[in-house]
Amino acid sequence: MKNIPSWLFEARNKWQFTGTKRPDFAEEPKKNQVSVWDFPRPPALVQVQEEVRVFAGETCIVKSKNALAVCETASPPTYYIPPEEVHLELLVPIPKKKSLCEWKGTAKYWALKTSPNKGIGWSYKNPFSPFEALKDYIAFYPQTLDCFIGDEKVRPQPGTFYAGWITDHLAGPFKGDPGTGHW
């Protein structure tokens, strides 16, 4: 795969859970639920069927029927919105803030113009293969914004690092709580 450092390949190979077998501690999905332990690793990129909306207070930042979801073992999906469906005039990039995802590459971060130092989302300018479709799409933290899939308000993934969107159709437990880093 192009542009992926060899040390990342090595890190990827250390994952114990890959979506092929649920661990004993995984919740049994109820009717109309899916287990995050059945999501694959490496993650899958999925076209979202429902409308996705994101609000900062009363202000709508996103209304999209073209979102993509990244579904990865142990985590609720993370939703990425095409830049043309984001009210970019409300956002500013956070200079010098970045992070590295072993699957997607280097992320840059976004804030609301009204709170320019508080990260509310991120994007990838040059995502790794096979995530090129996420180029410039923006993902948002449900910890700091009101996010909806259809009519359901999502709940944030535990912790402050991850930004998965938990809905009623997911069974966990979810990565993010203390002691789950090895998942």
Residue 15 has pLDDT above 90, yes or no: no
d(CA 120, CA 79) in angstroms, rounded, equals 13
User: pLDDT above 70 covers what percent of the chain?
Assistant: 96
Across the range 97-125, mean pLDDT stands at 95
pLDDT of residue 102: 87
**Are 145 and 61 in contact, with CB atoms under 8 Å apart?**
yes
Band (124; pLDDT cuts 50, 70, 90): very high
Band (127; pLDDT cuts 50, 70, 90): very high
* Bridge partners, residue 139, by sequence: 80, 122
DSSP sequence for 97-109: EEEEETTTEEEEE
pLDDT of residue 3: 66
pLDDT of residue 2: 54
Of the given ranges (15-24, 72-81, 97-106, 150-159), which has the lowest mean pLDDT? 15-24
Residue 1 has pLDDT above 60, yes or no: no
Q: pLDDT, tens digit, for every residue of 49-92?
A: 999 999 999 999 999 999 999 999 999 999 999 999 999 999 99
**Are 137 and 106 in contact, with CB atoms under 8 Å apart?**
no
pLDDT of residue 53: 98
d(CA 20, CA 9) in angstroms, rounded, equals 19
Mean pLDDT for all residues in the chain: 93
pLDDT of residue 10: 73
User: pLDDT above 90 covers what percent of the chain?
Assistant: 78
pLDDT of residue 64: 98
Report all structural domains of the chain as residue ranges with CATH numbers, in order of start: 6-171 (2.170.150.40)
Q: Name 86's Cβ contacts closer than 8 Å, sequence gap at least 6.
A: 61, 62, 64, 138
Query: Measured in Å, how far apart are the chain's first and last C-alpha atoms?
Result: 24
pLDDT of residue 19: 85
pTM of the model: 0.92
